[in-house]
Each structure stands twice: as structure tokens, then as C-alpha cells.
Structure 1
């Protein structure tokens, strides 16, 4: 019971933090991600400032912007580890390949699913997907190291106490 109340939420929190840190570092170090992040933040910030100063009551617009940023962060950084962890616990997956691979594929696929159009990807889009996939893989590896190795608790065939034979 402690596993479900403390260990899994703590593992998810640490995995999300590690993937956030990885994405931040990738955005600073990688030239493609740096350009994308910098241009997006610069254009988004100035559009936001222009909109704030052009209306009488900017409160609803600020709230909507904060909600939209939170939704994107949730979809890219929280949702994949949460979904993969729940599925891994239900099916008792204990493989690092499951956690790192599933989180990598799911995180990399989210922009493609949200875009919704069928067209050939540009090299820049593929690069961003690869970085997002690595971000998901980092989250999966961290989650597996903390809680995934013992997914689903004890199997029915496991002895109740390690080192002793079942009666």
C-alpha cells in the first residue's frame, strides 16, 4: 500500500523533474531546440505583452495564457510518464525497455498527434521529435530505476518474505 501512496507518486515527481531539466538543458545546448525555444518565447512574450497592454482588463487573458502553457507542459512532461506508469503497474511490466521506450515514443508522438495533419515532416520537426523522445526516455529510465523494477508489487509466485520458501 505504501508503494501506491508514496513510492509511485514520488517516482513520477522525480521523473517529471528530470525530464523537465533534460528538456531545459537540451533547449540551451542544442542549436535547433535553442532556436525554436528562443524564437517561440520571444515572439510569444511580445505578443503577450502587446495583448496585455491593448485591453482594459488583462486578467482573463493572463489566466487563459497560464492555462495554455500549463496544458502544454502537462501534455509533454506529465502525461506520458503518468500513462506509462499506470499501464506498467496494471500489467506488471518490469522492463526498462517498456518504461523508457513507451515514454519516449509517447512523448515524441504528442506533437504529431496534436498537429493532426498528414504531411511529410521537415528535418527540424524530426529533430524536435527526437529531442522530445529522449526527454521521455529520461523520464522512463528515472521512473523505472525508482519504482518500475518492482511494478505491480509481488507476483503471486513470489515468496512472502525474500529468502524464505513459501509454506
Structure 2
């Protein structure tokens, strides 16, 4: 049991996070709205930082703030959902791939919204992004389930 918590679960989470980055890239190819979020947002951040540098203003604070935002969004989309669901599935012995994929997808879609404090009804483009993030999270949760989730919580006690 301890070997599972020390080796298998962290390994499965890392592989799932790597798969999540792959699926996020695939979602940006499939959806223009997700591509705009990922590529367009990062491109705008670079333009702002380099624009500040060209005009003689120190871009360091803006660059640090931009990288912090990108890191928090990456954490909310790829890292936190799979970790939270992995820990929850192990503690509550949730072995269903559908439950693990669905919960990871739900968290991947909702955590960025909570971070950005979206307090209004989302626009159609935002709904497309939310759907894409849900699918990325669901695929990430499925990869975790394939590696470690089918045996969540260890062996069940015999009746």
C-alpha cells in the first residue's frame, strides 16, 4: 500500500499531467477559441513585455505577473484537477473511469473560471473554451485511471 502512494500514484499523476499538456495542445488545434486562449494570450503577453522593453520601461514586473498568471492557469487546468481527483479516488476507493474522468474534467473546466472570477453568463466563445477544458481534463483523468485508478484505494476488504 505504501509503495502505491510513494511510486505508482505520483508516476500516474505525472504521466497524466504530461498527457494533459498534449491534450491541451490538441484542443488548441481543434478549437480556434482554445487556440486563442493559449496561443493568442501568450502572444499578447510577449507583445506587452517586449513593447515595454522597446519603450525603455523595465518589463520585469509585467513579465513576472504574466508568468505568474500563466503558471496559475496551468496549475488550475492540468495539475490541480488530476491531483485532487487522484487523492479523492484513493481515499474514497472510487474505481470508476467515468467518475475519475468526469470529476477531473469538471475541475479542469471550473477551476480556471473560479480563478478568473467569472460572475456572468459565459459567451459562446467562452463556452467553447470551457468545453475544451472539460475534455482536456476528462482525457487527463482517463490516463490517470488507466495507470493507477482502476485499483484505487488498494484491495477492497472481503465480506
TM over 0.5: yes
TM norm structure 2: 0.88
What are the within-5 Å matches in structure 2 for residues 23-62 of structure 1? 23-53=24-54, 54-56=56-58, 58-59=59-60, 61-62=62-63
- Provide the residue aligned with 2:107 in structure 1: 106
* Rounded Cα–Cα distance in structure 1 between residues aligned with 2:114 and 2:61: 28
TM norm structure 1: 0.84
* Rounded Cα–Cα distance in structure 2 between residues aligned with 1:64 and 1:119: 25
Deviation at residue 44 of structure 1 after TM alignment? 1.3
CA RMSD of aligned residues (A): 1.9
Does residue 147 (structure 1) correspond to residue 148 (structure 2)? The answer is yes
Gaps of 5+ in 2: none
- Provide the residue aligned with 2:11 in structure 1: 10
Deviation at residue 64 of structure 1 after TM alignment? 4.1
Gaps of 5+ in 1: 159-167
* Rounded Cα–Cα distance in structure 2 between residues aligned with 1:154 and 1:110: 32
* Rounded Cα–Cα distance in structure 2 between residues aligned with 1:128 and 1:110: 13
* Rounded Cα–Cα distance in structure 2 between residues aligned with 1:67 and 1:37: 15
Deviation at residue 154 of structure 1 after TM alignment? 1.3
Distance 1:104 1:35, change over 3 A: same
